[in-house]
Amino acid sequence: MCRPRPRLLHINRFSGSDGSTDNTDNASNSDNSKNNLEDYKSQPDDGKTLRWGIAPVSLMADDFAAALSVLPPHRHEIVSCAAAYRSHAVAFADKYEVKNVYTSFEDLARCQSVDVVYISPLNPLHGELCHLMLNHDKHVLCEKPICMSESKTEMLLRKAQARGLFLMEGMWPRCVPAYHYLRHQILRNRLGDVQNVHCTLGLPVSQSKLALYGGVASDFGVYGIQLALWVYREVPEKVRATGKLNEENVDVVASIELAFSHNRWANIEVSAEEKLSNKAIVQGKDGCIKMTNYWCPTRLITEDTDYEFPLPGGDEVITHYHNRLGMCYEAEEVRNCILNGCTQSELFNHNESRLLANLMDSIHAQLGVGRSREVYTEFQLENDLKNSTETATDLDTGEAENLSTKKKGAGA
């Protein structure tokens, strides 16, 4: 007779206004699945309301607004939105009770009511809109990639730092509880020495849309790369990429291999031509953790137990894209950082945006010439990520360990 696998349900509460958390990791509390989700909207919060602008109205922006709606009241408010067509902006404003409607990004940037802007146009427009909002002293959360090259990314990050404004590349998987629990398990050595991270992500995408997204490596590959960086917490020593280009020289298939110190690897397979298994496996000497939909996971699978991380809102709030309610954790991270005077988030900070842009430049160069060759990363971190001070009983493990840059033929 087969017995069902035990399943632990971790209730993930949002941090309070003082930045504290109420997560637990009690091995004896195996009946967590019997608990009901917290009513997040009933949690008190005396902090400032973060006022959002939306540039532009889009399906992703609609999902972001839906994610804000499951958070405790008075923490977030959308006060302005912009769209090329006024009818689109008005429809969005009516749905989410937005006061200010614009058909010009410049007008939204000048709006005095806005604290921070959520940016989600086509990928090539990200950098331009980020500069516009920073020039008008607006904090920015921008969907990945923030820019299409390393040099442009560097210019943007320097502007944000110089103006003392918060800027975050929207790598929202880093904010969800499943990622924090994964990092916690690695720090507690539950997997032993991690040796390999293997990720696949494949979905059929029309050729016209793929060109607008910048190719499959930019659109899909970054999720596996950021997961590898989250696991290993260091700069890869080598990157190698092979793939397939279409007639417009846009990559439609890519296989990316990252080599880390001590013979550790990450292998990332992405495709815009066919559906793949769409899962990640983090393999250690003593065990492994599997994640389906690893760019927005709500479940971690081990050899013994399935760990569930249900999203607030449940089935009551519908989104256009899978598990996008998880962006509520990203919104809370942005709010906490801005209220604490931070210009970046340590869950995905500016150095990692620089590193990701550098790796993508290397990958695109290799895919563009149509052959595989090893290249040593020419990336030099300005500041190493600080050692994590996480304890074995703290699940809120967002701090990063030291990253060390290795550069062929040169010192640090």
The percentage of the chain sitting over the pLDDT mark of 90, rounded to a whole number, equals 71
- What CATH number does the domain containing 149 carry? 3.40.50.720
pLDDT, residue 209, reads 83
Does residue 318 surpass a pLDDT of 60?
Answer: yes
> Is the confidence at residue 31, as pLDDT, over 90?
no
Q: Which of 308, 334, 351 is the last residue of a domain?
A: 308
Domain shared by 188 and 104, yes or no: no
C-beta neighbour count of 304 within 10 angstroms? 8
Q: Is 4 exposed, middle or buried (0-12, 13-18, 19+ CB in 10 A)?
A: exposed
In-domain check, residue 255: yes
Judge if 151 and 104 occupy the same domain: yes
Establish whether the linkage from the previous residue to 145 is cis, with ω within 30° of 0. Answer: yes
Helix (H), strand (E), coil (C) string for 358-408: HHHHHHHHHHHHCCCCCEECCCCCCCCCCCCCCCCCCCCCCCCCCCCCCEC
Residues 164 and 208 in one domain: no
Which residues form the domain of 159?
50-172
Mean pLDDT over each residue of the chain, to the nearest integer: 83
Which of 273, 308, 343 is the last residue before a domain boundary? Answer: 308
> Is the separation of the CB atoms in 171 and 263 below 8 Å?
no
Q: Within this chain, do residues 247 and 158 fall inside the same structural domain, yes or no?
A: no
The encoded tokens of residue 305 equal 């137990």
Task: State whether 152 and 55 are in the same domain.
Answer: yes
The residue out of 271, 287, 308 marking a domain boundary is 308
Please state the rounded mean pLDDT for residues 168-190. Answer: 96
**One domain, residues 67 and 154:** yes
In a domain, 369, yes or no: no
Residues 245 and 290 in one domain: yes
Looking at the structure, tell me whether residues 299 and 188 fall in a common domain: yes
Which range, of 9-13, 28-32, 332-336, averages the lowest pLDDT?
A: 28-32
> Is residue 256, in this structure, part of any structural domain at all?
yes
Q: Where are the alpha helices (DSSP H) in 78-176?
A: 86-96, 105-110, 126-135, 150-163
Residue 210: the pLDDT is 85
- The Cα diameter of the chain in Å comes to 67
Residue 149 and residue 205 in one domain: no
Closest by CA position to 307, among listed 170, 175, 171, 184: 184
Task: Give the torsion sign (CA, 140, 143, 148, 153).
Answer: positive
Residue 363 lies in a domain: no
In the block, tokens 């809109």 appear at 129
By the 8 A CB rule, do 400 and 385 touch?
A: yes
Q: Do 147 and 212 belong together in one domain?
A: no
For residue range 126-159, list pLDDT tens digits in order: 999 999 999 999 999 999 999 999 999 999 999 9
> Looking at the domain assignment, is residue 400 inside a domain?
no
Residue 298 in any domain: the answer is yes
pTM of the model: 0.82
| Of 378 and 289, more confident | 289
Residue 401 resides in a domain: no
pLDDT, position 15 = 39
State how many domains the chain has: 2
Average pLDDT of the residues in 91-98: 98
Rounded to an integer, the average pLDDT of 17-43 is 35
CATH number at residue 221: 3.30.360.10
Least confident window among 5-9, 325-329, 381-385: 381-385
pLDDT score for 8? 58
Listed range (204-218, 225-239, 246-260) with the worst mean pLDDT: 204-218
d(CA 191, CA 232): 13
Please indicate, yes or no, whether residues 161 and 189 belong to a single structural domain of this protein: no
What pLDDT band is residue 13 in, cutting at 50, 70 and 90?
Answer: very low
Confidence of residue 208 (pLDDT cuts 50, 70, 90): confident
pLDDT confidence bin for 388, thresholds 50/70/90: very low
Is 291 contained in some domain?
Answer: yes
The pLDDT value given to residue 377? 46
270 and 210 in a common domain: yes
CA 27 to chain centre: 28
- Answer yes or no: is pLDDT of 385 > 50: no
The better pLDDT of the pair 317, 331 is held by 331
Residues 264-292 have a mean pLDDT of: 97
Does 177 have pLDDT greater than 70? yes
Q: What pLDDT does residue 36 have? A: 33
| 288 compared with 29, residue with greater pLDDT | 288
pLDDT tens digit string along 108-127? 999 999 999 999 999 999 99
**Taking residues 321-338, what's their average pLDDT?**
96
Mean pLDDT on 306-331:
91
